[in-house]
Amino acid sequence: MTKLREECGIFGIFDTEEASVLTTLGLHSLQHRGQEGAGIVTYDGKKFYNIRKKGLVGDNFNNSEILSLLPGRNAIGHVRYSTTGESKSENLQPLFANLSVGGFACAHNGNLTNTHSLKKDLVSKGAIFQTSSDTELILQLVARSRQKKLINKLIDALNKIKGAYSLVILTNKKLIGVKDPFGIRPLVLGSLNGSYVLASETCALDIIGAKYVRDIENGEIISIEKNHIQSFKPFKKLNERPCIFERIYFASPDSIIDGKTVYTYRKKLGEQLAIENKIDADVVVPIPDSGVSAAIGFSQKSNISFELGIIRSHYVGRTFIEPTQNIRQLGVKLKHSVNRSCIKNKRVILIDDSIVRGTTANKIVKMVYEAGAKEVHLGITCPPIKYPDFYGIDTPKHKELMASNYTLEEMTKIVGASSLFFLSLKGTYIAMGYKKRNNSNPQFSDHCFTGDYPINVEEIQNFKNELFD
């Protein structure tokens, strides 16, 4: 069975009243980044408190006892994305350990790529791992560093790990934020009445009324203490390679990345798709929710009217959450229904952000035909996903990625559409505000389309899950 590891959301807040309640709100706004489970660690000046639960933030943390269960002015939290099969409670984060320098809680968004060799080495030296999460490696490495100061222990550990990581860390003195040298996963700094906040996305700042200060830079460590904030850049400076999928699919439409809302990028992706593909049709219909912003762009650019021809139930999580292909298919059916009035006897252009396995496209095209559409064209606002991800999204292996196994013609037949068209790579960069993909402008982590992996993935490809599950 395919193992999908996690895309996650992280949040931290320092020196404020009701830190656990604010963290609950922050995590709630990051819920789209992970629905398998959530956790919060707080520190009240004497003790650390830790609650980690499977399920949604609102179901587990939104209650009147949360302040007494999680007291203190400092807190970090994590929402975890589904790992198929292995959804063990011990893997829920933040992870916590009592180190020689005091308590150390850590929440991680991303995936390490050299876990196999590091873990093998540590186990051979007597380390005992309590979880199958790669994040535990960070705690083990910090614990074993011979440096005296916590920050130097952390730098020591980070120098050993490779991969994608945005971290929030809570100790008895500090809140620390870290972004890996390529800055693959996001992390922003905000402020609320003089207190500092760290979050995966700006939507988590908005929900608590915090102001956006700036993005944490690639390769930067931010250390927040009472009345004191420090920045460390201990790594060799590299060009930033942020994950392009944050803009295409993952991030919330209202979050701001690089000065623009994610909605703006998605709308542009839709516009660009319309520029590249002139289709004669009657209606443009998004596959909700992720296709909505792009479909608005497509409709406006093509002058074909926008209709909500597919209705999405808000009581079912993201498709990928279910662990088996059978259940995933059921999930898609539970999630979407057809609004016949917009579809019957129409030539329909469906818009979605991506095709991974093809499950969603397959189901929806069929549903739309069954509702009486004359033609069903399917437009995808990114290039074909031909290569797996190992940096925190972790899309399936080659053999399960539809575009990795079939030609465009074959894919069109399999999904049963009148036509299937993808946005070009160049068009994707144009929608992001760049003329084309080249080395002189910020290049994204776009390996899913290009196979150009910024960090070597050989080890994770060969030994994935061997030591961890």
Q: Which residues are catalytic?
A: 8
What are the strands of the beta sheet with 305-306, ordered from one edge?
305-306, 283-286, 347-352, 375-380, 419-422
Distance between CA atoms of residues 62 and 129, nearest Å: 31
Q: How far is CA 227 from the centre of its chain?
A: 31
Cβ 287 to ligand AMP, closest distance in Å?
Answer: 6
Cβ 354 to ligand AMP, closest distance in Å?
Answer: 4
Which residue's structure tokens are 């998004």?
A: 286
Choice between 355 and 373, CB closer to ligand AMP = 355
| Interhelix angle 292-302/262-276, nearest 10 degrees | 40
Distance between CA atoms of residues 123 and 133, nearest Å: 14
Closest CA to 428 of 297, 320, 318: 297
* β partners of residue 234: none
Cβ 244 to ligand AMP, closest distance in Å?
Answer: 12
Choice between 71 and 242, CB closer to ligand AMP = 242
Q: Where are the beta strands (DSSP E) in 92-174?
A: 95-99, 102-112, 163-171
The contacts found for 259-263 with CB under 8 angstroms, 24 or more apart, are 260/433, 262/293, 263/293
Choice between 92 and 382, CB closer to ligand AMP = 382
* β partners of residue 7: none
Choice between 177 and 242, CB closer to ligand AMP = 242
Choice between 186 and 358, CB closer to ligand AMP = 358
Choice between 287 and 348, CB closer to ligand AMP = 287
Type of residue numbered 61: F
Distance between CA atoms of residues 128 and 42, nearest Å: 25
Cβ 179 to ligand AMP, closest distance in Å?
Answer: 21
Residues 235-264: x/- map of binding to ligand AMP (CB under 6 A)?
--------------x---------------
Cβ 71 to ligand AMP, closest distance in Å?
Answer: 35
**Burial class of residue 313 (count of CB atoms within 10 Å of its CB; 0-12, 13-18, 19+):** exposed
Centre a 10 Å sphere on the Cβ of residue 406 and count the other Cβ atoms it contains. Answer: 16
Cα distances (Å, whole numbers) of residue 459 to 122, 179, 456, 466: 16, 22, 8, 11
Q: Does 292 bind ligand AMP (CB under 6 A)?
A: no
Q: Is 35 helix (H, G, I), strand (E, B) or coil?
A: coil
Sequence-ordered list of residues with C-beta below 8 angstroms from that of 123, at least 6 positions apart, any chain: 129, 467
- By CB under 6 A, the residues from 329 to 388 that bind ligand AMP are 352-361
In the list 57, 105, 167, 287, the residue contacting ligand AMP (rule: CB under 6 A) is 287
Choice between 153 and 357, CB closer to ligand AMP = 357
Distance, first Cα to last Cα, the chain: 13
In the list 290, 293, 302, 418, the residue contacting ligand AMP (rule: CB under 6 A) is 290
Choice between 185 and 318, CB closer to ligand AMP = 318
Residues 311-330: x/- map of binding to ligand AMP (CB under 6 A)?
-------xxx----------
Cβ 357 to ligand AMP, closest distance in Å?
Answer: 3
Cβ 141 to ligand AMP, closest distance in Å?
Answer: 28
Cβ 12 to ligand AMP, closest distance in Å?
Answer: 24
Cβ 363 to ligand AMP, closest distance in Å?
Answer: 8
- What is the total count of residues that contact ligand AMP (CB under 6 A)? 18
Choice between 82 and 195, CB closer to ligand AMP = 82
Centre a 10 Å sphere on the Cβ of residue 207 and count the other Cβ atoms it contains. Answer: 17
CA dihedral of residues 143, 144, 148, 149 (deg, nearest 10): -40
Sequence-ordered list of residues with C-beta below 8 angstroms from that of 212, at least 6 positions apart, any chain: 188, 189, 190, 202, 205, 256
Type of residue numbered 102: G
Sequence-ordered list of residues with C-beta below 8 angstroms from that of 440, at least 6 positions apart, any chain: none
Q: Which residues bind ligand AMP (CB under 6 A)?
A: 249, 287, 290, 318-320, 352-361, 393, 395
